[in-house]
């Protein structure tokens, strides 16, 4: 397949894709679009960088009918940032069909009436409480399915998927396609098609015993046929992880290659479209780096506007190809593109985002490219304990299992500042290291004492009558707790600041002391009322003995589209 017309998409959808500079399907899109267009369920072992949004979005735009004032497709996401980003990216593609895309997140007007609704995990309960009417849903997508499965309580997700009508199409995407996601997908799909297919599909879904064992360790075990197809790594592909400002990352790398690498005289930048190449060329020109087409001897920067073959021919025509550094401004969509771009020339580079690392590893392995990550210098040595902590962090960052945890962090960033999340992660890591040391020391004095030290003290959750409307945050609450009660900050757990109140976790033995110290004190201009949290609607999800939540399609249930009435509120409830 060389174009979206070959995939039998409608002319309006093809035109919308072309207007966004999307003219050639990726390998995953070419395989998945016909499957979804035929209304089959799909298990896609693919992640960011392989074109998953267009792979399921384009055929669903063609197939589904909108305009009813309620969602026809639900896309379940890990966090608010991901849902917002996907909705913004997908909205321009809806123009030709007259449909609307929105995220169930702040600053979206009436998102529950959009045809394509992107739902973050922390708003999943909106599918039960009547906020989102689900009676018109005809397709459900789990985007980055591993993150969704780990973020949504399993009883709620399974109840929701089990209550969907039989004709509702189910699409599961993930990289890696982990055990938990695979279990859910197998139980709630019918005659699902797996992409990639054949031997690669066996490796992707872990059907063999060996594959299952390796997937559990965070790796995918390719079958022997797939392993033989993959060439042994023969060439190095350097990569630097970038944030949202990709143009700045391209500028920094271009300047470094031209100024610090003596043999490099040209930097060949591979982009996805002519529009992206033009924008990048204008940005580089502002900083004094003139660009031209591949092969232009006068231009230090060569731009390939999605024409990889022509750029490769220009490199092959040189007497000394090592003077050209090749840079993929985005991860190549497949192994053929990676080989075409980086098998020839001098230094080879790619600029992936964190969420694209899984796809980059798959592409590099299939293309026979050895990945080498460029990292900044380590900070100066501080102390033995902190140095060991830094070593463990560096090792964890390099691990292939990092991607699902990145999705978890992304959802946390919707509610907490990056510094708070990083500090909490370091605290947990440090506690784990200290706990191992204490257990080892206790073992020398007797197993009974070591076991006592290894058992953590339970938490108590407290209700605090101040929240976001009082303009306070977790930092202010932590300061008030430690300042008034005198307990250490390490004795305070999760702080959840909500609109009108906050929930704070402290060690069980400190709870009474904190309640007594904070009651009546003033914070944010408000006299605090502090007590144990007893409200039923604020209990942790998955409370034993309460059973799964009500199915979203149960006729007459409160909070659904039926005619049932809500139960009366209990007196004295806050």
Angle at the Cα of 228 from the Cα atoms of 332 and 270, rounded to 5 degrees = 15
C-alpha–C-alpha distance, residues 169 and 56, integer Å: 11
pLDDT given at position 233: 55
**Is the four-CA dihedral 14, 16, 19, 25 of positive or negative sign?**
negative
Q: Are 181 and 172 in contact (CB under 8 A)?
A: yes
**Bridge partner list, 504:** 462, 495
Nearest Cα residue to 463 out of 537, 525, 529: 529
Query: Residue 69 phi/psi, 5° resolution?
Result: 80, 15
- Could you give the residue range(s) of every CATH 3.30.70.330 domain in the chain? 457-549
Query: Max Cα separation, the chain?
Result: 85
Side by side, the strands of the sheet bearing 139-142 are 101-103, 116-120, 73-77, 139-142, 169-173, 42-44, 193-195
Indicate the helix (H) or strand (E) that contains 368: none
C-alpha–C-alpha distance, residues 523 and 480, integer Å: 8
Nearest Cα residue to 373 out of 390, 388, 351, 391: 351
**Bridge partner list, 268:** 302, 326
Residue spans of alpha helices (H) in 460-502: 474-485
- pLDDT bracket for residue 382 (50, 70, 90): low
Percent of the chain whose pLDDT exceeds 90: 42
Angle at the Cα of 234 from the Cα atoms of 351 and 238, rounded to 5 degrees = 20
In residues, how long is the chain?
Answer: 574
C-alpha–C-alpha distance, residues 76 and 117, integer Å: 9
* Cα 574 from chain centre: 35
* Cα 172 from chain centre: 14
538 against 357, higher pLDDT: 357
Which one is the CATH code of 235-373: 2.60.320.10, 3.30.360.10, 2.40.50.140, 3.40.50.300? 3.40.50.300
Tell me the average pLDDT across 141-168.
Answer: 90
410 against 572, higher pLDDT: 410
CATH number for the domain running over 5-195: 3.40.50.300
- pLDDT bracket for residue 439 (50, 70, 90): low
C-alpha–C-alpha distance, residues 571 and 46, integer Å: 51
pTM for this entry: 0.62
Which two structure tokens, joined as six digits, stand for 390?
A: 């830094």
Report the mean per-residue pLDDT for the chain: 81
CB count, 10 Å around CB of 332?
26
- pLDDT bracket for residue 260 (50, 70, 90): confident
pLDDT given at position 403: 64
- Could you give the residue range(s) of every CATH 3.40.50.300 domain in the chain? 5-195, 235-373
CATH number for the domain running over 457-549: 3.30.70.330
pLDDT given at position 423: 81
Report whether pLDDT(554) > 60.
Answer: no
Nearest Cα residue to 195 out of 337, 41, 49, 64: 41
Contacts 24+ apart (CB under 8 A), 180-188: 180/146, 180/149, 180/150, 181/142, 181/145, 181/146, 181/149, 182/43, 182/206, 182/215, 184/145, 184/149, 184/157, 184/158, 185/43, 185/145, 187/158, 188/158, 188/161, 188/162, 188/164
Helices (runs of H) and strands (runs of E) counted in the chain: 21, 20
C-alpha–C-alpha distance, residues 305 and 273, integer Å: 5
Distances (CA, A) of 340 to 228, 234, 316, 475: 20, 14, 11, 51
- pLDDT bracket for residue 257 (50, 70, 90): very high
C-alpha–C-alpha distance, residues 8 and 389, integer Å: 54
Q: Are 528 and 465 in contact (CB under 8 A)?
A: yes
Q: Are 99 and 90 in contact (CB under 8 A)?
A: no
Q: Which 8-state DSSP code applies to residue 574?
A: -
Task: Give the SS3 label for residue 63.
Answer: helix
């Amino acid at each position: 397949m060389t174009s979206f017309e070959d995939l039998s998409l409608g002319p309006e959808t093809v035109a919308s894709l072309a207007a966004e500079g999307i003219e050639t399907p990726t390998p995953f899109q070419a395989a998945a679009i016909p499957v979804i267009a035929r209304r089959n369920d799909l298990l896609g072992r693919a992640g960011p960088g392989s074109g998953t949004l267009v792979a399921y979005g384009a055929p669903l735009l063609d197939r589904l009918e909108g305009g009813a004032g309620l969602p026809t497709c639900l896309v379940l996401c890990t966090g608010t940032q991901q849902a917002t980003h996907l909705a913004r990216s997908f909205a321009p593609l809806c123009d030709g069909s007259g449909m609307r895309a929105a995220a169930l997140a702040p600053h979206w007007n009436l998102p529950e009436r959009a045809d394509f609704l992107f739902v973050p995990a922390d708003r999943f309960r909106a599918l039960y409480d009547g906020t989102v009417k689900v009676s018109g849903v005809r397709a459900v997508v789990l985007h980055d399915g591993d993150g969704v499965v780990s973020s949504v309580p399993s009883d709620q997700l399974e109840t929701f998927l089990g209550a969907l009508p039989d004709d509702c199409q189910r699409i599961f995407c993930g990289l890696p396609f982990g055990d938990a996601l695979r279990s859910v997908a197998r139980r709630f799909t019918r005659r699902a098609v797996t992409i990639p297919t054949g031997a690669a599909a066996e490796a992707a879904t872990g059907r063999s015993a060996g594959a299952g064992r390796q997937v559990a360790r965070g790796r995918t075990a390719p079958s022997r046929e797939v392993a033989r197809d993959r060439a042994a790594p023969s060439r190095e592909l350097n990569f630097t992880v970038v944030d949202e400002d990709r143009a700045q990352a391209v500028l920094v790398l271009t300047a470094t290659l031209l100024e610090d690498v003596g043999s490099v005289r040209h930097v060949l930048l591979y982009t996805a479209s002519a529009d992206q190449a033009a924008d990048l060329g204008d940005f580089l020109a502002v900083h004094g780096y003139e660009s031209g087409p591949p092969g232009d001897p006068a231009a230090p920067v060569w731009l390939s506007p999605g024409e990889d073959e022509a750029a490769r021919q220009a490199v092959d025509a040189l007497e000394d190809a090592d003077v050209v550094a090749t840079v993929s401004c985005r991860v190549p969509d497949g192994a053929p593109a990676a080989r075409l771009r980086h098998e020839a020339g001098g230094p080879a580079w790619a600029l992936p985002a964190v969420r694209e690392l899984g796809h980059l590893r798959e592409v590099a392995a299939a293309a026979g490219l050895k990945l080498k990550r460029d990292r900044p210098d380590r900070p100066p040595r501080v102390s033995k304990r902190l140095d060991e902590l830094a070593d463990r962090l560096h090792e964890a960052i390099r691990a292939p299992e990092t991607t699902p945890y990145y999705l978890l962090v992304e959802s946390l960033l919707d509610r907490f500042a990056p510094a708070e999340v990083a500090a909490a992660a370091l605290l947990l890591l440090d506690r784990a290291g200290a706990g191992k040391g204490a257990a080892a020391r206790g073992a020398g004095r007797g197993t009974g004492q070591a076991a006592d030290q290894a058992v953590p003290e339970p938490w108590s959750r407290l209700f605090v009558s101040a929240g976001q409307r009082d303009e306070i945050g977790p930092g202010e609450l932590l300061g008030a707790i430690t300042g008034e009660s005198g307990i250490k900050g390490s004795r305070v757990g999760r702080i959840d600041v909500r609109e009108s109140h906050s929930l704070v976790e402290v060690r069980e033995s400190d709870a009474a002391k904190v309640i007594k110290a904070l009651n009546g004190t003033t914070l944010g201009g408000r006299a605090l009322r502090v007590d144990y949290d007893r409200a039923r609607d604020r209990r942790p999800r998955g409370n034993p003995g309460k059973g799964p939540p009500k199915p979203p399609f149960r006729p007459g249930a409160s909070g659904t589209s039926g005619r049932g009435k809500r139960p009366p509120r209990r007196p004295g409830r806050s």
